[in-house]
Amino acid sequence: MFAVPLGEDGAELRPLEPWQAEEFLEHMDRGREFIGRHIGLADVVTDPASSRAYLQSYADKAAADTGRIYGIWTPEESGRGGTLVGGVLFRTMDVPHGTAEAGCWLEPSAVGRGLVTRASRVIIDWAVDERGIHRVEWLVSAANAPSIAVARRLGMTKEGVLRESYTSRGERHDMEIWSVLAPEWRRSRTERREREGT
């Protein structure tokens, strides 16, 4: 299994696979109410069977090249592989058409550390450079200010609002559509690396 370092704090990005269903469920239990405020994941992964089924659905997507899911781990003092605190994913990927929809989630203990932004950069780099994705979309509840901030930090452009297009926990929500195109992504990545001197 590979792990991609996410910075000097020791955080890592790794694939999330069905055999990790128990760890994924424990993570979801720690952050269920926080995560569930804006995304349906917390209401889908509720027990061992649903946790495994959710991760298996992404294993199937990976095999079909139509989606991917990755976890974000932060170091533990014991050094036993870290703690799963969130993740990023490609909910959909249409390689022939060059489009993908990215997304994220975090438990409260991991908020405010830039983990999602760093992890999203890794997967978007891969999608653009390795898979030839031309357009990466970010669909987000209009009430989810932290996720909208990530879209901005990624250099995405807000394209519009789908009014009351999403139902969560019995309420309708507006969804914002953000996106970045491959040429924009490469340009902003070059500019960021020049600023950082890397």
73 forms beta bridges with 12, 84
Q: Is the pLDDT of residue 1 over 70?
A: no
| Torsion over CA: 67, 62, 45, 2 (sign) | negative
The model's pLDDT over 125-152, given as tens digits with 9 standing for 90+, comes to: 999 999 999 999 999 999 999 999 999 9
The model's pLDDT over 25-56, given as tens digits with 9 standing for 90+, comes to: 999 999 999 998 888 899 999 999 999 999 99
pTM of the entire structure? 0.91
Length of the chain: 198
Find how far residue 12's CA is from the centre of its chain. Answer: 13
